[in-house]
Structure 1
Amino acid sequence: MRFLPLFAPLLLVAPALGDDPAPDRSEVLKYPSSVQQVDDYHGTLVADPFRWLENDVREDERVAEWVKAQNEVTFGYLKQIPQRKAIEGRLTELWNYEKFGVPFEEGGKYYFFKNDGLQNQFVLYVQETLDSEPEVLIDPNTWSEDGTIALSGTAFSSDGKYLAYGVQDAGSDWRTWKVMDLETRKETGDELTYVKFNTPEWNADDTGLYYGRYPEPNAGEKFQTLNLNQKVYLHRLGTPQSEDELVFERPAHPEWGFSNTVTEDGAYHIVTAWKGTDPRYRVFYRKLAGGEDGGPQPWVELIDDFEQEYEFVTNEGSKFYFLTDEGEQGDAPLKRVVTIDVETGERAEVIAEAENVLTGVSRVANLLFAKYLKDATTQVKILTLEGEFVRDVEFEGLGSASGFSGDRDSTETFYSFDSFATPPSVYRYDLATGESELLRRANVDLDPELYEVKQVFYESKDGTRVPMFISYKKGLALDGSNPTLLYGYGGFNIPLTPGFSVSRAAWMEMGGVFAMANLRGGGEYGEAWHEAGTKLKKQNVFDDFIAAAEYLIAEGYTSRDKLAIQGGSNGGLLVGASITQRPDLFAAALPAVGVMDMLRFHQFTAGRFWVDDYGSADDPEEFAALYAYSPYHNLEDGVSYPATLITTADTDDRVVPGHSFKFAARLQQAHAGEAPVLIRIETRAGHGAGKPTEKIIEEYADMWAFLADRLGMTLPEGYGG
């Protein structure tokens, strides 16, 4: 790689649109790097001239000035796009419908989340019966004027007296947990801080909470420092956090994290240890009675390595149920359910590995709800605790279902179902009859009969058969003229399933085709599919995505001049790698909160967890693979790249914004074409969770307007009022 000069020019490209003058392309803004940074990776010298953009925007004035300058150019460009106002107006209209979460029962009452339409945050409601008038329990919209403080996570005590709830500020992964007395509806004054990647669990007698927390970060490092040394504490109601009892730690393994479960019968406390994103766990348990002074007994290590997935489902006395990918002889990549008797050590299979991947299991009453994916669409089977098949849950088509929670004494459960063109619908499921009763269906200003959703299969570079969903207005002409948005993710064993999205509905209403490819690296077909897109095989993911684009062009859906790509987080990496490898294939790109520097990602916040999927530059062989596709490092001077709108947020502490900052700076420096290369940096927003509705609508209006401009879209007559 050619070393870069100390002062690296950024060409902020913004051709004039409308009446207001846009910045002249000849205007060059220069921002110096602090030093000419060169790192030695196993004998390979790698330049990193924009290292200074890794610094926290809240702590470094130079970074703050760079962000301000970039936003001025970006928003100056976007506001002049003629279609933008109409697109934002229509998005606002479409978004303005009642949105309901799946109801759940706690302590004899029903709870659900609801958004009236344009509220920035969902509100938690309570009702005595399904037919009674709901009452507001918690409204996070009252917590801040700009809507950037969110309710994030709940934990109800088993007796229904208390609710612990998480508070998320400005999209950060850090949570502060508080407790409400549900009878008085007042806070108890209990507060738990420095909680991340953890939901508290009530102890057996509902007098306190088990939770995992990290040490308080040093000043100025809260949003960038690595997360290490999580420990499990017991917080007793009415006491300060400083007096919480340490109940579990592994100081020799600072990289381990812990989640807590108290069995529904109150007999056992289970700690599941993890150390990355792969579902490979150690499992510890203790009896909560029978020890010294009648208290908990010592901890027992039940699963003593990080080789397989063991996800606790439920228990019947000393018999623990686990979802696992460990087979009787080797792996079970499509997963099964087994029991382990912690008293006798006896193991038994309850649900055998099937032809489709088993993605989750829940217990309701004395039934197991087993959720499968068949070619990325949901199937749910109901079985007894002994594994005997009872029935399938019938859905109204190909789509995604979620829910199916409950207790041992439940007679009902609830779920939601949706697809690309079908808005979310909430159902009550009667356990005795197997009948589903529609409770609510979202009333969106969209006629699903006008749209077609199909699933196709195409061949990747190595011949692998890959599925893809394609959605569009009926009557589409396959003449290559259609503006098309291809979306992908391909990582961390996460499947992409067909679900309703207002923003995608708006895109199709504008006349666009939406395509979603189920790439390797995801969880659509089990662990083998996931592993085929990890570490030294990560290039398969990019090959799958590029092959999806080529399929859409070859089949006449679109052409190179009408094709855009989109992805967020790991999907942002996907988009970044795709435009560096095939800049000729796409007209526009929308990489969001992406992992763009594959050599240093593991040195910030949660980045170290991602080594399971990506590998690490500390390993010579893995470094070679990472360096070969790292978006930041593979941009070449003098190349004409697609029009690119990078999006990130200043308070993202999952994928720190330095990734996007550095990629934008280097892309603007290398780009030789006339297409705009911009970065949009949101304020008081994080990785995505908890973002207020107002900011979401504004962001999508900017992205869809950018695509409409670059792909030459003509909006339907009267669009957006």
Structure 2
Amino acid sequence: MRRAILLASLFATSMTPIAATAQQQASAPAAQPLTYPQAARGDVVEEQFGERIADPYRWLEDDVRNAPAVRQWVTAENEVTDAYLATLPGRDLFRQRITQLYDYERFGTPEKKGGKYFYSRNDGLQNQSVLYVRDTLDGEGRILIDPNGWSQDGATALADAQPSEDGTHVAYAIQDGGSDWRTIKVLDVATARPLADEIKWAKFTGLSWAKDGSGFYYSRFPQPAAGQEFQSLNENQAIYFHRVGTTQDQDVQVYATPDRPRLGHGGQVSDDGRWLVITSSEGTDDRYEITLVDLTQPGARPRTLIPGLQNNWSYVGNEGSRFTFVTNKDAPRLRIVTLDVAEANPQPVEIVAQDEAVLDGASMVGGQIITTYLVDAKTEVRRYSSQGQLVGRVELPGIGSAGGFGGENDDPETFFSFTSFATPTTIYRYDVRTGQATPWAQPQVAFNPDDYEVSQRFYQSKDGTRVPMFVVHRRGVDLSRGAPTLLYGYGGFNISMLPGFSATRLAWLEQGGVLAVANLRGGGEYGKAWHDAGRLANKQNVFDDFIAAGEYLVREGITSPQQLAIQGGSNGGLLVGAVVNQRPDLFAAALPAVGVMDMLRFNRFTAGRYWVDDYGYPDREADFRVLRSYSPYHNIRSGVQYPAILVTTADTDDRVVPGHSFKYTAALQHADIGDRPHLIRIETRAGHGAGKPTDKIIEEAADLWAFAARWTGMDVRPVAGAATAASPAD
């Protein structure tokens, strides 16, 4: 029941301004050169495969917490950036409007345990969402965990919460300052009070309860050396069992592979409670080993069910010895198979064959298998019997993204979420027996979703590949005139860019801007082949796809190079950095966030070693040649006019360490690339993105849109008018 906070003043749709035309933008005042902080240039030069590689800003890799010189540089850079952003006329208007748009009630998908319903809720502008419980489906929610009082700056988050099978306890994970490290604690549901239990040094872990509620399984790494907590490589992850009411030093190690330190492990208790299903991987690829531990036999030796790290084997559920998995073995768009673990050498039996669409997920609920498929980057939901016969489909409210469908195989009740670019996330209750979906939490919002238009277009990349792209804008915007446009991309790690609502993006659209989201190769939109076509030696295809998206938008008259801004985060930050080097003439502004910018050293820090599946190994010559050819830090072109660039990162990002962005920015500011600003915005007590408090999200988005608006010619004006009621997001 996504119910919204009713705003006193809403905008009138007829008053939203149309952005400046290309002719108006061309007459914008010229950029004034900025004075950047001096970054010392070191003399580090290393030879790799016969090539001398200079790394003058190696010192900026040092952890800002422990390196005074880096801290001084960060402070100086933020002062320059803050002073510049303060001059942008649209900054306050964006901040005010994004704050209004963000102020609506948001719910997470409920999880049912012990007859109780556990879910997250944010009343609108809370920095962190709160965990609630209901004793009945439509009962009144009771607060269990409110992280908003955990820190003064709101940067300590509830990262995960898993109720026990009987609903009497919750194991929950605390994230501080955006770090990937987690502290795990246990809550008594009846009293809403935490127990004394506390676990440190957990990271990249699930929480899976034993069926009897005695404790849970989790994954952790060895404690890192002092001063290396946020930079050292993550190796030797192991699975432990924690018994409720005991201390961490009493936790029992269930599974580890000291002879293979690069393997990561996750444990999940099987549906019947008999087995611990262990999924092991070495990198980011969906290539797993599956190991079983018989929990009914104390001291049982682990049994390898699927060896070899060759294919995706995602556990769906089991009925006795019959295990169901999603796999891409002999099916690059995935299929569903069963394995009978009672057999000495189980062989997969196909029950749902590969389809033209890509299988994106499956769950066993109410005696059926509910599957989500991607059809041209949009969700379709199908229902199958446990034997694999198609039963029907789950009708969705429109073109968008759906997820959830968790639950028990003997319970026909499940929940799912649905969202699209102009539709905030709505939670639905779904009755598997009747096939009926009813809204459980539906937001009311400070805008009318019908005022926005979403289309899907297809364009050709450099090599002729057909690539899809979503284009979103306000109804009434004359695209033939050209409009300030924000082009977003990612293109990696088998991750699909699906339709989804963003209150911050809506503020851009309200001003007459266009949003374009390109489904680049390297993602998972069309299965393994699409992923493979955008990684390793094929990585240039991702950049070509993104450049072709920009060229298409210009060719169609939707925008112009003087009105086109690009954005991407993490691997998408790498994307933005690479294409700016390759086609600086195509873009007016660039917003690379928490990017992987030094492709020759990415695997030396924290989780970077996992990324070799997509990027390759810098110490192997063939991979080195590819990485060297597009590494953003190493390919900045002096003597060429670059677009305006606002880099964003955070001082406590221990996923993509901020040294990537620091070095890249220092190199940009040293190079002769024109007078447009090339700045970095460095957030404090924030990480790679997860757990970032609402107020920091709003502040950052206002800065980004104001910067992009300045350099794309957008005339930012107040959203005028008032309404008496919010509009339901149907």
> TM-score category by the smaller chain?
over 0.9
Per-residue Cα deviation, 1:358-400 (whole angstroms, up to 9, x for no partner): 0111111211111100000000101111001111000121100
Shift of 1:409: 2.6
**Structure 1 position 463, deviation (Å):** 0.1
Q: Which residue of 1 aligns with 2:33?
A: 25
Of 250, 261, 276, 1:254 maps to 261
Partner of 2:694 in structure 1? Answer: 693
Q: Which residue of 1 aligns with 2:320?
A: 317
Cα shift at 1:85 = 0.8
What residue in structure 2 maps to residue 299 of structure 1? 302
The answer to whether the aligner puts 1:215 opposite 2:222 as a matched pair is yes
Q: Indicate if the aligned counterparts of 2:357 and 2:374 stay in contact, CA closer than 8 A.
A: yes
Q: CA deviation at 1:205?
A: 2.5
Contact 2:651 2:682 in 1 (8 A): yes
Contact 1:639 1:670 in 2 (8 A): no
Q: Which residue of 2 aligns with 1:502?
A: 503
- What SS does the aligned partner of 1:105 have? strand
Quote the Cα distance in structure 2 between the aligned partners of 1:689 and 1:379.
27
Q: Deviations over 1:232-289 (max 9, x none)?
A: 2222222211122122111110000100011121111111111100010011102212
Which secondary structure state, in structure 2, belongs to the residue aligned with residue 188 of structure 1? strand
Offset at residue 651 of structure 1 (A): 0.1
Higher alpha-carbon deviation: 199-208 or 408-417: 199-208
Tell me which residue corresponds to 2:14. none
Instruction: Tell me the amino acid that sits aligned with residue 681 of structure 1.
Output: I
- Name the counterpart of 1:582: 583
The answer for the alignment partner of 1:342 in structure 2 is: 341
**Structure 1 residue 26: Cα displacement:** 6.5
**Contact preservation (8 Å) 2:32, 2:676:** no
Q: CA 1:204 to 1:421, structure 2 compared with 1: closer, same or farther past 3 Å?
A: closer
Match of 1:484 in 2: 485
1:659 is displaced (CA, Å) by 0.3
Once residues 335 and 219 of structure 2 are traced to their aligned partners in structure 1, the CA distance between those partners, rounded to angstroms, is 28
2:246 corresponds to 1:243:
no
Aligned match for 2:131, one of 124, 139, 142: 124
Q: How many pairs are equivalent?
A: 690
Aligned to 1:113, which of 120, 134, 148?
A: 120
Counterpart code for 1:580: N
Q: 2:90 touches 2:717 (CA, 8 Å); kept in 1?
A: no
Written as runs of structure 1 = structure 2, the 5 A alignment for 1:258-407 is 258-289=265-296, 291=297, 295-327=298-330, 332-344=331-343, 345-407=346-408
Q: CA deviation at 1:96?
A: 0.6
For residues 652-667 of structure 1, the aligned pairs below 5 Å read 652-667=653-668
Q: State the alpha-carbon separation in 2 of the partners of residues 247 and 395 from structure 1.
A: 42
**Residue of structure 1 equivalent to 2:3:** none
Which residue of structure 2 aligns with residue 414 of structure 1? Answer: 415
CA deviation after TM superposition for structure 1 residue 501, in Å? 0.8
Note if contact 1:88-1:720 (Cα within 8 Å) is conserved in structure 2.
no
C-alpha distance in 1 between matches for 2:476 and 2:39: 50
Aligned to 1:554: 555
For 1:586, the aligned partner's letter is F
Structure 1 residues 270 and 296: alpha-carbon distance in aligned structure 2, compared to 1, 3 A threshold: farther
CA distance in 1, matches of 2:626, 2:484: 34
Instruction: Check 1:134–1:28 CA distance in 2 against 1; reply closer, same or farther (3 A cut).
Output: closer
Picking from 209, 216, 220, the partner of 1:202 is 209
Q: Which residue of 2 aligns with 1:534?
A: 535
Q: 1:32 Cα deviation (Å)?
A: 1.6
Alpha-carbon contact 2:36-2:669 (below 8 Å) kept: no
**1:87–1:720 CA contact under 8 A, matched in 2:** no
Which residue of the partner structure matches residue 192 of structure 2?
Answer: 185
The answer on whether the counterparts of 2:367 and 2:409 sit within 8 Å (CA) in structure 1 is yes
CA distance in 1, matches of 2:52, 2:334: 43
Q: 1:486 to 1:26 in 2, by over 3 A?
A: closer
> 2:543 and 2:117 mapped to 1: Cα distance?
45
Q: Which residue of 1 aligns with 2:240?
A: 233
Matched letter for residue 400 of structure 2: G
Residue 569 of structure 1 is matched in structure 2 by 570
Q: Secondary structure at the match of 2:584?
A: coil
| Residue pair 2:37, 2:77 contacting (<8 A) in 1 also | no
Consecutive unaligned residues of structure 1, counting only runs of 5 or more, are: 1-22
2:6 corresponding residue in structure 1: none
CA-to-partner distance for each residue in 1:192-236, whole Å, 9 max, x for gaps? 110000012222422122221111000100000000111122222
Give secondary structure in 2 for the equivalent of 1:635. coil
Q: CA RMSD in A?
A: 1.4
Moved more, 375-384 or 260-269: 260-269
- Equivalent-residue separation in structure 2 for 1:26 and 1:77 (angstroms): 9
Please give the alpha-carbon distance, in whole angstroms, between the structure 1 residues aligned to 2:276 and 2:234: 24
> Which string of whole-angstrom CA distances, capped at 9 and with x for unpartnered residues, describes residues 598-635 of structure 1?
00000000000000000011110010000000000000
AA aligned to 1:547 is: A
Question: Once the two structures are aligned, what percentage of the paired residues are identical?
Answer: 54
Q: Tell me if structure 1 keeps the 8 A contact 2:637–2:673.
A: no
Please give the alpha-carbon distance, in whole angstroms, between the structure 2 residues aligned to 1:493 and 1:228: 23
Higher relative contact order (CA 8 A, sep 6+): 2
1:138-180 CA-partner distances (Å, limit 9, x unpaired): 1000111110000011222112221100000000000000001
| Residue identity opposite 1:509 in structure 2 | E
Letter in 2 for 1:334: R
Code of the aligned partner of 1:183: A
Within 1, Cα distance between the matches of 2:562 and 2:324?
Answer: 53
User: Match of 2:55, as an amino acid?
Assistant: D
Report how far residue 712 of structure 1 moved: 1.6
What SS does the aligned partner of 1:141 have? helix
CA contact (8 A) 2:577 2:632 kept: yes
| In structure 1, distance between residues paired with 2:272 and 2:212 | 11
- The alpha carbon displacement at 1:638 in A equals 2.0
Task: Check whether the contact 2:372–2:379 (CA below 8 A) recurs between aligned residues.
Answer: yes
Match of 2:627 in 1: 626
CA contact (8 A) 1:577 1:630 kept: yes
Query: When the two structures are superposed, what TM-score results if normalisation uses the length of structure 2?
Result: 0.93
- 1:19 maps to none
Three-state SS of the structure 2 residue aligned to 1:424 is strand
Distance 2:241 2:560 in 1: 59
| Partner-residue secondary structure (3-state), 1:710 | helix
Give the aligned partner of residue 674 of structure 1: 675
Greater Cα shift, 419-428 or 512-521: 419-428
Distance 1:546 1:63 in 2: 34
Tell whether the 8 Å contact from 2:145 to 2:192 is kept in structure 1 after alignment: no
Change (3 A) 1:663 1:346: closer
- Structure 2 counterpart SS, 1:584: helix
Partner residue in 2 for 1:76 = 83
Amino acid at match of 1:352: A
- Contact 1:86–1:719 (CA<8 Å) still a contact in 2? no
SS of 1:608's equivalent in the other structure is: helix
Shift of 1:446: 1.1
Q: Residue 100 of structure 1 aligns to which amino acid in structure 2?
A: F
Provide the rounded CA distance (Å) in 1 between the counterparts of 2:353 and 2:259.
37
Shift of 1:28: 5.3
